[in-house]
Amino acid sequence: EPAMQIHYILISMCLIFFSACQNRREKEIKQFIASWEGKEIILPSSWQNVQDSLWEAAIQKQFKIFTYVDTNGCTECQLKLYDWEILHKKLDSLNKNATILYIVHNKFPQYIESIKKRNNITFPFFIDEENKIGKINHLSSKLLYRTFLLDSMNKIILFGNPIQNEQIWNLYKQTITNK
Protein backbone atom coordinates (compact mmCIF):
# COMPACT_ATOMS: atom_id res chain seq x y z
CA GLU A 1 0.00 0.00 0.00
CA PRO A 2 1.22 3.53 -0.72
CA ALA A 3 0.41 4.75 2.82
CA MET A 4 2.55 1.98 4.35
CA GLN A 5 5.40 2.72 1.95
CA ILE A 6 5.34 6.38 2.96
CA HIS A 7 5.27 5.32 6.62
CA TYR A 8 8.35 3.12 6.15
CA ILE A 9 10.17 5.83 4.20
CA LEU A 10 9.50 8.36 6.99
CA ILE A 11 10.72 5.94 9.66
CA SER A 12 13.85 5.21 7.60
CA MET A 13 14.53 8.92 7.12
CA CYS A 14 14.13 9.55 10.86
CA LEU A 15 16.56 6.76 11.68
CA ILE A 16 19.12 8.07 9.19
CA PHE A 17 18.73 11.61 10.56
CA PHE A 18 19.09 10.40 14.17
CA SER A 19 22.18 8.38 13.28
CA ALA A 20 23.78 11.36 11.53
CA CYS A 21 23.10 13.61 14.53
CA GLN A 22 24.60 11.04 16.91
CA ASN A 23 27.74 10.72 14.76
CA ARG A 24 28.13 14.51 14.55
CA ARG A 25 27.74 14.90 18.34
CA GLU A 26 30.15 12.04 19.03
CA LYS A 27 32.71 13.61 16.68
CA GLU A 28 32.29 17.01 18.39
CA ILE A 29 32.83 15.43 21.83
CA LYS A 30 35.93 13.56 20.66
CA GLN A 31 37.38 16.76 19.19
CA PHE A 32 36.70 18.62 22.43
CA ILE A 33 38.38 15.92 24.53
CA ALA A 34 41.40 15.81 22.23
CA SER A 35 41.88 19.57 22.44
CA TRP A 36 41.23 19.93 26.20
CA GLU A 37 42.68 16.78 27.75
CA GLY A 38 45.50 17.67 30.16
CA LYS A 39 44.91 21.40 29.67
CA GLU A 40 45.38 23.55 32.75
CA ILE A 41 42.42 25.59 33.93
CA ILE A 42 43.79 28.97 34.97
CA LEU A 43 42.36 30.04 38.30
CA PRO A 44 42.94 33.39 39.98
CA SER A 45 44.91 33.28 43.22
CA SER A 46 42.28 35.50 44.81
CA TRP A 47 38.87 37.09 44.23
CA GLN A 48 39.83 40.30 46.05
CA ASN A 49 36.83 39.97 48.35
CA VAL A 50 35.37 38.10 51.32
CA GLN A 51 35.48 34.80 49.43
CA ASP A 52 39.29 34.75 49.42
CA SER A 53 39.97 32.42 52.37
CA LEU A 54 37.46 29.84 51.09
CA TRP A 55 38.89 30.14 47.57
CA GLU A 56 42.49 29.77 48.74
CA ALA A 57 41.63 26.62 50.69
CA ALA A 58 39.64 25.15 47.79
CA ILE A 59 42.30 25.66 45.11
CA GLN A 60 44.87 23.86 47.31
CA LYS A 61 42.91 20.58 47.24
CA GLN A 62 44.29 17.54 45.44
CA PHE A 63 41.10 17.14 43.34
CA LYS A 64 38.60 19.77 42.28
CA ILE A 65 35.34 19.27 40.45
CA PHE A 66 35.31 22.51 38.48
CA THR A 67 32.03 23.68 37.05
CA TYR A 68 31.35 27.02 35.43
CA VAL A 69 27.75 28.14 35.04
CA ASP A 70 26.75 31.11 32.92
CA THR A 71 23.33 32.03 34.24
CA ASN A 72 21.90 33.83 31.26
CA GLY A 73 18.31 32.67 31.14
CA CYS A 74 16.63 30.66 33.89
CA THR A 75 19.09 31.05 36.72
CA GLU A 76 17.73 28.61 39.31
CA CYS A 77 17.16 25.86 36.72
CA GLN A 78 20.72 26.13 35.45
CA LEU A 79 22.31 26.21 38.89
CA LYS A 80 20.92 22.83 40.07
CA LEU A 81 22.10 23.71 43.57
CA TYR A 82 20.24 20.91 45.34
CA ASP A 83 21.97 18.29 43.16
CA TRP A 84 25.38 19.90 43.69
CA GLU A 85 24.81 20.01 47.45
CA ILE A 86 24.10 16.26 47.48
CA LEU A 87 27.22 15.64 45.39
CA HIS A 88 29.26 17.80 47.78
CA LYS A 89 28.21 15.63 50.72
CA LYS A 90 29.12 12.44 48.82
CA LEU A 91 32.47 13.91 47.79
CA ASP A 92 33.26 15.03 51.32
CA SER A 93 32.69 11.50 52.63
CA LEU A 94 34.98 10.04 49.92
CA ASN A 95 38.03 12.25 50.21
CA LYS A 96 38.66 15.30 52.39
CA ASN A 97 41.25 16.47 49.87
CA ALA A 98 38.66 16.93 47.13
CA THR A 99 36.20 19.75 46.64
CA ILE A 100 33.82 21.42 44.25
CA LEU A 101 34.75 24.71 42.62
CA TYR A 102 31.35 26.00 41.61
CA ILE A 103 31.69 29.26 39.71
CA VAL A 104 28.76 31.30 38.47
CA HIS A 105 28.98 34.04 35.90
CA ASN A 106 26.23 36.51 36.70
CA LYS A 107 26.13 40.29 36.73
CA PHE A 108 23.77 40.42 39.70
CA PRO A 109 25.66 38.95 42.68
CA GLN A 110 23.00 39.94 45.23
CA TYR A 111 20.43 37.83 43.38
CA ILE A 112 22.79 34.84 43.22
CA GLU A 113 23.68 35.25 46.92
CA SER A 114 19.97 35.18 47.83
CA ILE A 115 19.48 31.95 45.84
CA LYS A 116 22.57 30.48 47.55
CA LYS A 117 21.30 31.37 51.03
CA ARG A 118 17.79 30.12 50.30
CA ASN A 119 19.27 26.74 49.27
CA ASN A 120 21.62 26.46 52.30
CA ILE A 121 24.67 25.85 50.13
CA THR A 122 27.75 24.52 51.95
CA PHE A 123 30.08 23.83 49.02
CA PRO A 124 32.59 26.38 47.64
CA PHE A 125 30.51 28.70 45.50
CA PHE A 126 31.95 31.75 43.75
CA ILE A 127 30.45 34.52 41.66
CA ASP A 128 32.42 35.73 38.65
CA GLU A 129 30.59 38.95 37.73
CA GLU A 130 32.95 39.81 34.90
CA ASN A 131 33.33 36.30 33.40
CA LYS A 132 37.09 36.43 34.09
CA ILE A 133 37.51 32.66 34.36
CA GLY A 134 35.39 32.01 31.28
CA LYS A 135 37.45 34.46 29.23
CA ILE A 136 40.91 33.45 30.54
CA ASN A 137 40.22 29.77 29.82
CA HIS A 138 38.17 30.25 26.63
CA LEU A 139 35.39 28.09 28.08
CA SER A 140 32.76 26.86 25.68
CA SER A 141 29.34 28.44 25.64
CA LYS A 142 27.92 24.90 25.76
CA LEU A 143 27.08 23.68 29.26
CA LEU A 144 28.26 20.19 28.31
CA TYR A 145 31.86 21.46 28.08
CA ARG A 146 32.20 23.37 31.35
CA THR A 147 32.58 20.72 34.06
CA PHE A 148 35.90 18.97 34.69
CA LEU A 149 37.77 17.00 37.31
CA LEU A 150 41.04 18.84 37.95
CA ASP A 151 44.17 17.54 39.64
CA SER A 152 46.27 19.45 42.18
CA MET A 153 47.90 21.43 39.35
CA ASN A 154 44.46 22.32 37.90
CA LYS A 155 44.98 20.11 34.86
CA ILE A 156 41.92 18.43 33.40
CA ILE A 157 41.77 14.73 34.25
CA LEU A 158 38.15 13.97 33.34
CA PHE A 159 35.30 15.70 31.54
CA GLY A 160 31.57 15.73 32.14
CA ASN A 161 28.97 16.68 34.66
CA PRO A 162 28.68 14.16 37.51
CA ILE A 163 25.23 15.36 38.57
CA GLN A 164 23.83 14.70 35.10
CA ASN A 165 25.45 11.34 34.46
CA GLU A 166 25.98 8.50 36.96
CA GLN A 167 28.75 6.96 34.81
CA ILE A 168 30.69 10.22 34.92
CA TRP A 169 30.25 10.36 38.70
CA ASN A 170 31.56 6.79 38.96
CA LEU A 171 34.67 7.74 36.96
CA TYR A 172 35.22 10.78 39.15
CA LYS A 173 34.83 8.62 42.29
CA GLN A 174 37.31 6.02 41.04
CA THR A 175 39.88 8.71 40.29
CA ILE A 176 39.38 10.58 43.56
CA THR A 177 39.59 7.42 45.68
CA ASN A 178 42.33 5.83 43.52
CA LYS A 179 40.24 2.68 43.05
pTM score, two decimals? Answer: 0.79
Q: Can you give the pLDDT at residue 155?
A: 93
Q: What is the pLDDT of residues 43-63, one digit of tens each?
A: 877 666 656 677 788 888 999
CA–CA separation, 174 and 98 (whole Å): 13
Q: Can you give the pLDDT at residue 176?
A: 92
Q: Does the structure show a pLDDT above 80 at 141? A: no
50 Cβ neighbours under 8 A, 6+ residues apart? none
Q: What is the pLDDT of residues 105-117, one digit of tens each?
A: 888 888 888 888 8
C-alpha distance from residue 77 to each of 10, 71, 104, 137 (Å): 35, 9, 13, 24
Q: How confident is the model at residue 96 (pLDDT cuts 50, 70, 90)?
A: confident
Mean pLDDT of 3-18: 52
CA-nearest of 16, 45, 61 to 151 is: 61
